[in-house]
Chains A and B, each alone.
Chain A
Amino acid sequence: MNDLALIGPILAAMFAAATPLLFAALGELVVEKSGVLNLGVEGMMLVGAVCGFAVTVQTGSATAGFLVAALAGAATASLFAVLTLFLLANQVATGLALTLFGVGLSALIGQGFVGIPLDGLPKLYIPGLTDLPVVGQALFGQDIMVYLAVAAVPLVHLFLYRTRAGLVLRAVGENHTAAHALGYKVLRIRFLAVLFGGAMAGLGGAFLSMDYTPMWAENMTSGRGWIALALVVFATWKPARAMLGAWLFGGVTILQLHVQGLGIDVPSQLLSMLPYLATVLVLVLISRDVARIRLNAPACLGKLFHPDA
């Protein structure tokens, strides 16, 4: 078999593998831009995954499933928001606790849903375009969630940099005291940002349980929430770069499986490590430029705020 013919399928698999990361990373990006660090992405993804799956099994409607997944993700995130924004709990500790909580809660909810199969989403098929060599399947043969994730990138960018609301959100993330002095409701803005992050993480999780591998299994996100967190820094808080990062990560993941299948003599443990290694490498390269990190990182990231203080 001609190995070059594999490029098309690898590209197609890459976009799909990147989709859950992209959803979660975009959500977290907005959260961090508002000055909040929520490490609970993995937990919110899992809750979204199990709730979306459960609703789809009960109602037969994938639309309802994804809606509920977003709501469930947001609900989980609201717990974090109440604890850190209003009760001034430490964000790092609360985020970690949220992940542990999400793992347990999703397992509990999912008990009755293990071992139930589900049909995935239908794939797009445009005669002619989908049949194009190399890029056909990758660009015109995915399902709707893959396109939605990509469409969310310019939307998030436009919101952050071209709307007044986005400007205010960024202002809150840069200097919450000044924003507060100007009369902006810092806590309300952050609360909404955290909810958005939760909803996006929920969608990313639901993509896994309802489409990518249409079933529910405990802990099925297997660390993708943490990768999404790393991607936000990797992207220096820029939506388009987060997309590139997700593609890079997805691409290396898929590529290493193909390298193994072709029998190329590289240790599989090293190959499994490659996507993470690539992420670390890029992080190191970016971090060398301290000025750029400072310029892009929200200045109030992770700092607590109390309006009366």
Chain B
Amino acid sequence: MNRRTMGKAVLGLAGAAVALSVGMGAGMGSAFAQEKLKVGFVYVGPVSDHGYSYQHDQGRLAVEKALGDKVTTTFVENVPEGADAERVIEQLAASGHKLIFTTSFGFMNPTLKVAKRHPDVKFEHATGYKRAENVATYSGRFYEARTVVGAIAGKMTKSNIIGYIGSYPIPEVISGINAFTIALREQNPKAEVRVVWVNSWYDPGKEAEAAKALIDQGADVIVQHTDSPAPIQTAQERGLWSVGQSSDMTRFGPKSHLTAIVEDWNGYYVDRVKAVLDGTWKPIDTWGGISTGMVELAPYNPAIPADVVKLADQIKADIVSGKRHSFQGPVKDQSGKVVIPEGKHATDEQILKMDWYVEGVQGKVPK
């Protein structure tokens, strides 16, 4: 479940106006030559965030590169989740866009409303769960990458305390913490995870403060499920390890950055645009993991020993081949009760609704 709410209405409006005028100009020019498919993208943040929205925009650029002779693309950035979003999506639909990607959780209801009014336009909504005749949904199994990261952290920690910075206690983040912790303790049963919630997706100051607090409490690996590179900088300053989020954050802490969980939408976006061009598009739900390329790991830090790299690659390969599941039973909760029995793994529904910690995580899930 995603995504942040930023009070940037003013910017959003300005961005919308500029992006739309560019998009319409391009569309009009080409309409006479050959009817090109117009594809719209709606982002919650700025494309310059080098994180979540940036990764989506990379996907848009991949579409232009692969199918530039058949499509034109338009994007609107900094769109606040809520009433403004509906207006922006409506504008895209009304101006001839036949496929629209709305890339944040909070765009779910606005997307469905606009979709109802425009049955001839196809919509793709990221990280949501409501679909319709002309609305498909898609998301990544990011927890799979956290399994790989957990194993690396288990091998790299000396203090056996891992600091984990969470954004909001929602199932996406909690399942990430659990997948990480299971893999961590498989390598290192003595290790524990301490979680600090900052109640924000993007607040560099607060994320840095959280990282400092965790480090002062003895953590020597800092993992984050927030979007700013501030925790990486803090870990680098203290000479400790860190794991990036959304995109490769190596340059913020080359000595500290072990790897990062990277979202890669390029392949998916190109496939879906092709499907519309071919007339094979269907309103399906896609939840792709490492095997689909939607979830990736940034290049490993050269300081990670070769045997740990080998272990990480093996785990990655086993996840891709289906030999391994991030929530392979037996999985115990904090009280020691077996929640996922031996021989089974968590169902998708269990993962999508996860609201409990596995054994090894300190503290309680905030309710």
Question: Which residue from A100, A117, A260, A269 sits with its C-beta under 8 Å from B363?
Answer: A260
A114 touching B213 by the CB < 8 A rule?
no
A222 touching B206 by the CB < 8 A rule?
yes
Classify chain A: how many residues form its interface, as a range: 35 or more
A6 touching B205 by the CB < 8 A rule?
no
Complex alpha-carbon distance, A209 and B8, angstroms: 20
B323 at the binding interface (Cβ < 8 Å): no
- Chain A residues with CB below 8 A from B197, complex form: 260, 268-269, 272
Given contacts A263-B363, A265-B364, contact A100 B10 (CB under 8 A): yes
Given contacts A268-B169, A272-B199, contact A114 B48 (CB under 8 A): yes
Given contacts A111-B48, A117-B233, A215-B230, contact A9 B204 (CB under 8 A): no
A215 touching B363 by the CB < 8 A rule?
no
- Chain A residues with CB below 8 A from B210, complex form: 257
- Chain B residues with CB below 8 A from A24, complex form: none
B203 at the binding interface (Cβ < 8 Å): yes
A200 at the binding interface (Cβ < 8 Å): no
Complex alpha-carbon distance, A264 and B205, angstroms: 23
B310 at the binding interface (Cβ < 8 Å): no
B217 touching A262 by the CB < 8 A rule?
yes
- Chain B residues with CB below 8 A from A6, complex form: 216-217
- Chain B residues with CB below 8 A from A117, complex form: 229, 233, 251-253
Residue of A nearest to B361 (CB): A263
B252 touching A215 by the CB < 8 A rule?
yes
Within the complex, what minimum Cβ distance (angstroms) separates A89 from chain B?
Answer: 19
Q: A1-37 CB contact bits vs B (8 Å, 1 = yes)?
A: 1000010011001000100100000000000000000
Q: B211-231 CB contact bits vs A (8 Å, 1 = yes)?
A: 011101111000000001110
A222 touching B205 by the CB < 8 A rule?
yes
A208 touching B218 by the CB < 8 A rule?
no
B298 at the binding interface (Cβ < 8 Å): no
B194 touching A208 by the CB < 8 A rule?
no
Complex alpha-carbon distance, A60 and B251, angstroms: 17
Q: B160-190 CB contact bits vs A (8 Å, 1 = yes)?
A: 0001000001000000000000000000000
A222 touching B203 by the CB < 8 A rule?
yes
- Chain B residues with CB below 8 A from A272, complex form: 197-199
- Chain A residues with CB below 8 A from B229, complex form: 117, 215
B209 touching A269 by the CB < 8 A rule?
no
A254 at the binding interface (Cβ < 8 Å): yes
A13 touching B233 by the CB < 8 A rule?
no
Within the complex, what minimum Cβ distance (angstroms) separates B14 from chain A?
Answer: 7
Given contacts A10-B216, A217-B202, contact A104 B11 (CB under 8 A): yes
A107 at the binding interface (Cβ < 8 Å): yes
B366 touching A213 by the CB < 8 A rule?
no
A115 at the binding interface (Cβ < 8 Å): yes
Q: A110-133 CB contact bits vs B (8 Å, 1 = yes)?
A: 010011010010000000000000
A103 at the binding interface (Cβ < 8 Å): yes
B14 touching A104 by the CB < 8 A rule?
yes
B208 at the binding interface (Cβ < 8 Å): yes
Question: Which residue from B10, B163, B228 sits with its C-beta under 8 Å from A217?
Answer: B228
Complex alpha-carbon distance, A280 and B278, angstroms: 60
19 contacts across the A-B interface (CB closer than 8 A): A1-B217, A6-B216, A10-B216, A104-B10, A104-B14, A117-B251, A117-B253, A215-B230, A215-B233, A217-B228, A220-B204, A221-B205, A258-B213, A261-B214, A261-B219, A268-B197, A269-B197, A269-B199, A272-B199
Starting from the known contacts A115-B251, A258-B216, 17 additional A-B residue pairs (CB-CB under 8 Å) come to: A6-B216, A10-B213, A13-B209, A104-B14, A120-B237, A212-B208, A217-B228, A218-B49, A222-B204, A257-B213, A261-B217, A262-B217, A262-B362, A262-B363, A263-B194, A268-B169, A269-B366
Q: Which residues of A contact B (CB under 8 A)?
A: 1, 6, 9-10, 13, 17, 20, 100, 103-104, 107, 111, 114-115, 117, 120, 208, 212-215, 217-222, 224, 253-254, 257-258, 260-265, 267-269, 272
Of all A-B residue pairs in the complex, the 5 with the closest CB atoms, nearest first, are A263-B363, A9-B216, A263-B362, A257-B213, A268-B197
